[in-house]
Chain A
Amino acid sequence: MIASLAARHSWFEATARARLGGLLDPGSFSEILPPAESNPSPHLALLDLPGAFDDGVVVCYGQLEKKPIFAIAQEGQFMGGAVGEIHGAKIVGMLRRAAQEKPAAVLFLIDSGGVRLHEANAGLIAISEIMRAVLDARAAGVPVIALVGGSCGAFGGMGIVAKLCSAIIISEEGRLALSGPEVIETVAGVEEFDSKDRALVWRVTGGKHRYLMGDCAMLVDDDIAAFRRGATEFLAGWSEPTPDVATLRARQRVLQNRLAAYGALRDGLDVWAALGIAQPESVPLLDRDSLVALKEGLPT
């Protein structure tokens, strides 16, 4: 066990570029607008803040098990992975190109708190353009797979974008939600949500909870190689379904039932008990394989 832990390369701790380096086939990384050719955000410069050459996102061609793919990787360490104008334009350009060139998939390495507030409306517009571009790529038959396991998770507008993707692959360390914990606490008070209670935050937004609730297609270990295996396995069995009204209505009913069944509960522990898990307090301690086995044994 200890040897296997030592061989792991944590997704959570890695930079966006290190994640891409381990995710794609060796030598296949080919960046579009590399740092030496792109410009830092002019908005941040106006606010007297240092920018990043790539504006916090790497877009590239690459291969996954010899299949051509596009990849987009947000850098959570730069301004919380937040989406500014240039950052957003790079993502949108890549997704639109995917709709035209039809690679085998777009891998979207999300690590972001949402809109970059410094860039205000430009950031908000960028997020809405990303949403449209994700759906256009999917409509063109290109699966867009969100990989969530970074320190910033997928929150705000990027939480919505993650859910618009074909599927989400998440690690226990990953988080997915709309309003971030601090935002909820600021707006509604600490009685509503205590953002300092990290265990609670993970029980409500963390990867295990999202996987148990069926929000994510796959739960993987916090390991770059595990994300690579997960994405490969997922794409092998995936075909983009044609949306129709009946499927959308059925999905809406599922969401309504979910709200009715769990909407009043305040903690992941209560939700897991309601899901039929006999010992919900054991869930945070389970390793990935045990949790997947637990979910597969649940009544559907």
Chain B
Amino acid sequence: METLDFRFDSKPVPRVADPALCGVVGSGNLEILVKPGIEPEACRVRIKTSARGFGATWQAVLGSFAASHAAGGTVIAINDMGATPAVVTLRLAQALAEYQGGNP
């Protein structure tokens, strides 16, 4: 297992819902928990992943997410079991939508 920590600048997100969870820690999948943070213009991410050595890929996927979405003011915790970048991107968008009260 590898633990990775990142911090990205991102526009503040309007928060509606309680902490949001999506996904499951199953093979090729991951779970994402979005909670409020204390920095309104930053998104902090901590990942625990079963796949070692993909720090640069996480940095690229998460950086692109933080740049294209308003995700500032959040702390995102991820438990990963080898999800592909495409799955990660979809789940991040889903988790952020739920954090804003999108899906129950």
Contact with A along B47-62 (1 / 0, CB 8 A): 0111000000000000
Q: By the criterion CB–CB under 8 Å, are A35 and B26 in contact?
A: no
Decide if A50 touches B79 in the complex (CB within 8 Å): yes
A26 to B81, CA, bound (A): 31
**CB <8 Å contact, B1 and A49:** yes
What distance in Å separates the Cβ of A224 from its nearest Cβ neighbour in chain B?
15
Say if the beta carbon of A42 comes within 8 Å of chain B: no
Kindly specify which of B27-35, B64-72, B84-92 makes contact with the partner chain: B27-35
Contact yes or no, A51 B33, CB < 8 A: no
B38-49 interface code vs A (CB 8 A; 1 in, 0 out): 000000000011
Contact partners of A40 in chain B: CB under 8 A: 79
Size category, A interface = 10 to 19
> How far, in angstroms, from A290 to B27 measured CA to CA in the complex?
36
A79 to B24, CA, bound (A): 10
Q: Are A50 and B80 touching (Cβ within 8 A)?
A: yes
**B104 touching A21 by the CB < 8 A rule?**
yes
Given A50-B48, A52-B25, A77-B24, answer yes or no on A36-B33 (Cβ-Cβ < 8 Å). Answer: yes
Q: Look across to chain B and name the residue whose beta carbon is closest to the beta carbon of A51.
A: B79
Interface SS of chain A: helix, strand, loop or mixed?
loop
Task: Give the chain A neighbours of B79 by CB distance below 8 A.
Answer: 40, 50-53
**Within the assembled complex, what's the spacing in Å between the Cα atoms of A34 and B33?**
11
CB of A85 within 8 Å of the partner chain: no
> Does B13 sit at the interface, judged by CB under 8 A?
no
Instruction: Note all chain A residues with C-beta closer than 8 A to B12.
Output: none
- Residue-wise, chain A 39-51 has the 8 Å CB interface mask toward B (1 for contact) of 0100001001111
B19 contacts the other chain (CB 8 A)? yes
Q: Does A179 count as interface, using CB distance less than 8 angstroms?
A: no
Task: Write out the residue numbers on chain A whose beta carbons fall within 8 Å of the beta carbon of B1.
Answer: 45, 48-50
CA of A79 to CA of B35, assembled, Å: 25
Residues of B near A75 (CB, < 8 A) are: 24
- Please tell me which one of the listed residues B26, B49, B77 contacts residue A78 in the complex, with CB atoms under 8 A apart: B26
Q: Is A128 an interface residue (CB 8 A)?
A: no
Minimal beta-carbon separation of A87 from chain B (angstroms): 13
In this assembly, does A195 line the interface, its C-beta being within 8 Å of a C-beta of chain B?
Answer: no
Question: How many Å lie between the Cα of A49 and that of B49 in the bound state?
Answer: 8
B interface residue numbers (CB < 8 A to A): 1, 18-19, 21, 24-27, 29, 31, 33, 35, 48-50, 77, 79-81, 104
Can you list 12 pairs linking A and B with CB atoms under 8 Å apart? A34-B21, A35-B33, A36-B33, A36-B35, A50-B1, A50-B25, A50-B50, A50-B79, A51-B48, A56-B25, A77-B26, A78-B26
Of all A-B residue pairs in the complex, the 5 with the closest CB atoms, nearest first, are A77-B26, A36-B19, A52-B25, A48-B1, A77-B24
